[in-house]
């Protein structure tokens, strides 16, 4: 854990009691509607879960987008640095303004209007007539979609590596839909405390990050199987179905969705990003191969206050790069040695401006 976790007040406890079952129920209905109906003994079709003719996925995306975009607007219009202590909040930096504007636009356009609103507006049946579809999440964070479409391959093997080369893993804090929610929740009063007090930290927590390598290997294995099957070069239908079922149940449903979102109040906002997301592990490899210039650089102003470590949602011990026994170390770190996503929380939270991103171009 991070800083000593304070006792939760009763409104937060009530929220917790509703939030965790709510996330579990939503994803169960979204992903396995038939199973849920069978469990409750209903003979109705899966459209019983529709509300005003719209599928559960639409409503979930609407709430998700409203939360992310509403928080971004609050941050941008308020203009205060939410990473600093309550009474000392300075103005929001240009970096954070750009980040929250990027999150707002990405979430609204790429992850809401394009997939959920525009197609429904052009359907002959009308906007409020969603078809009954079992929710699948072929999100590109899983890597295997790169093996099933040219667009997916270009995105994962070309676009993402280029962004990593030039900007480090800022994709994760400026654009990705999962990251958008994490960044937004991380500046809300409860969310900031979950990051500070619940994020797993220390050498043991770092070692567990190896799970992400396992998920990447699994995702690549699944992708190659799908490619061979798609090209009719080799197929093993039973095995393919079993691997798909494992991917759906354990990686997408249990890890990526229920734990990835439901565990925010228990383990901070970036559990999936740190221990699960195979794309993040792929980005780390690309960063090492391309010798990305991305790095956080401490300077000689560090006073050993350790606020930077507590602010990091990825559980990085930022202060150990900045000082030893309160003597400045000035040890830069980047993609090779940490899972840093370039969110800038550590930089914003340091009261003496002892941290900055190293220049991406130049010497
Ligand atoms: S680690 Fe994966 S899920 Fe998290 S923000 Fe990055 S790409 Fe998205
Ligand atoms: S970098 Fe800033 S917040 Fe971190 S230990 Fe040094 S003075 Fe404290
Ligand atoms: S080290 Fe700083 S920039 Fe990197 S993930 Fe942690 S808080 Fe964000």
Torsion angle, alpha carbons of 141, 147, 151, 153, to 10: 80
3-state secondary structure of 323: strand
Residue 363 in any domain: the answer is: no
**How high is the pLDDT of residue 2?**
55
Contact indicator for 310, 3 with CB cutoff of 8 Å: yes
Q: Which domain holds residue 255?
A: 10-358
Note the pLDDT tens digit of each residue in 261-286.
999 999 999 999 999 999 999 999 99
Residue 4 in any domain: the answer is: no
Give the chain's domain count.
1
Report the separation in Å between the CA atom of 34 and the middle of ligand 1, taken as the mean of its atom positions: 29
In ligand 2, the atom with minimum distance to the C-alpha of 349 is 3
Strand partners, 296: 333, 357
Tell me: pLDDT of 59 over 90.
Answer: yes
What's the pLDDT band for 291 if we cut at 50, 70, 90?
confident
What sign does the CA torsion over 8, 11, 14, 20 have? Answer: negative
Report the separation in Å between the CA atom of 3 and the middle of ligand 2, taken as the mean of its atom positions: 15
- With pLDDT > 70 as the criterion, what percentage of the chain qualifies? 97
Provide the mean pLDDT of the chain: 92
**How high is the pLDDT of residue 137?**
60
Tell me the HSE value of 44 on the side-chain side, using a 13 A CA sphere. Answer: 10
**How high is the pLDDT of residue 199?**
97
Residue 269 in any domain: the answer is: yes
Calculate the alpha carbon distances from 231 to 158, 227, 235, 347 in Å.
22, 6, 9, 48
Where does ligand 3 bind, in terms of residues with CB under 6 Å?
296, 311-312, 314, 316, 318, 340-346
Average pLDDT over residues 58-80: 96
Residue 2 in any domain: the answer is: no
Q: Tell me how far apart the alpha carbons of residues 225 and 239 are, in angstroms, rounded to a whole number.
A: 9
Residue 118 in any domain: the answer is: yes
Tell me: pLDDT of 1 over 60.
Answer: no
Which ligand is located closest to the Cα atom of residue 298?
2
Any ligand 2 atom below 6 A from CB of 350:
yes
Instruction: Name the residue of 2, 343, 348, 350 to mutate for ligand 3: max ligand atoms within 8 A of Cβ.
Output: 343
Taking residue 192's Cβ as centre, other Cβ atoms within 10 Å add up to 20
Q: Nearest-CA neighbor of 2 among 309, 344, 349, 323?
A: 309
Q: Model pTM? A: 0.94
Average pLDDT over residues 212-229: 95
Which of 47-51, 90-94, 178-182, 245-249 holds the top average pLDDT?
178-182
What's the pLDDT band for 4 if we cut at 50, 70, 90?
confident
**How high is the pLDDT of residue 281?**
95
**How high is the pLDDT of residue 97?**
97
**How high is the pLDDT of residue 3?**
67
Residue 344 in any domain: the answer is: yes
Q: Tell me how far apart the alpha carbons of residues 86 and 73 are, in angstroms, rounded to a whole number.
A: 19
Residue 5 in any domain: the answer is: no
**How high is the pLDDT of residue 135?**
56
Longest Cα–Cα distance of the chain, Å, equals 69
Note the pLDDT tens digit of each residue in 123-173.
888 899 888 765 556 677 888 899 999 999 999 999 999 999 989 999 999
- With pLDDT > 90 as the criterion, what percentage of the chain qualifies? 76
Residue 3 in any domain: the answer is: no
Torsion angle, alpha carbons of 280, 346, 97, 360, to 10: -60
Structure-model confidence comparison of residues 49 and 311, the more confident one: 311
* Angle, alpha carbons 118-123-127 (nearest 5°): 70
**How high is the pLDDT of residue 307?**
94
Strand partners, 328: 323
What's the pLDDT band for 66 if we cut at 50, 70, 90?
very high
Tell me: pLDDT of 362 over 70.
Answer: no
């Amino acid at each position: 854990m991070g800083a000593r976790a304070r006792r939760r007040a009763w409104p937060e406890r009530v929220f917790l009691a509703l939030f965790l079952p709510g996330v579990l129920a939503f994803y169960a209905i979204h992903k396995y509607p038939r199973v849920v109906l069978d469990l409750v003994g209903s003979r109705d079709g899966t459209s019983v879960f529709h509300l005003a003719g719209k599928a559960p996925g639409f409503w979930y995306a609407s709430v998700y987008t409203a939360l992310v975009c509403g928080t971004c607007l609050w941050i941008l219009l308020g203009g205060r640095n939410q990473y600093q202590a309550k009474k000392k909040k300075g103005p929001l930096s240009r970096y954070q303004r750009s980040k929250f504007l990027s999150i707002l636009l990405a979430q609204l356009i790429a992850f809401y209007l394009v997939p959920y609103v525009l197609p429904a507006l052009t359907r002959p049946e009308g906007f409020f007539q969603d078809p009954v579809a079992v929710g699948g999440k072929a999100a590109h964070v899983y890597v295997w979609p790169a093996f099933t479409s040219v667009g997916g391959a270009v995105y994962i093997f070309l676009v993402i590596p280029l962004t990593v080369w030039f900007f480090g893993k800022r994709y994760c804090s400026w654009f990705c839909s999962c990251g958008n929610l994490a960044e937004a929740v991380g500046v809300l009063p409860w969310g900031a405390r979950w990051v500070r007090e619940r994020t797993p930290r220390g050498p043991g927590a770092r070692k567990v990050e190896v799970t992400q390598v396992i998920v990447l290997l699994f995702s690549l294995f699944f992708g190659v199987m799908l490619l061979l099957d798609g090209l009719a070069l080799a197929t093993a239908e039973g095995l393919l179905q079993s691997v798909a079922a494992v991917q759906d149940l354990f990686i997408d449903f249990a890890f990526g969705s229920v734990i990835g979102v439901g565990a925010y109040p228990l383990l901070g906002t970036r559990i999936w990003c740190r221990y699960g997301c195979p794309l993040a592990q792929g980005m780390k490899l690309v960063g090492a191969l391309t010798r990305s210039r991305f790095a956080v650089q401490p300077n000689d102003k560090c006073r050993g206050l350790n606020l930077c470590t507590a602010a990091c949602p990825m559980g990085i011990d930022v202060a150990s790069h900045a000082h030893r026994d309160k003597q400045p170390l000035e040890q830069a770190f980047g993609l090779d040695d940490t899972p840093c996503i370039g969110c800038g929380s550590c930089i914003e939270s340091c009261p003496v401006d002892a941290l900055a991103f190293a220049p991406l171009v130049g010497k």
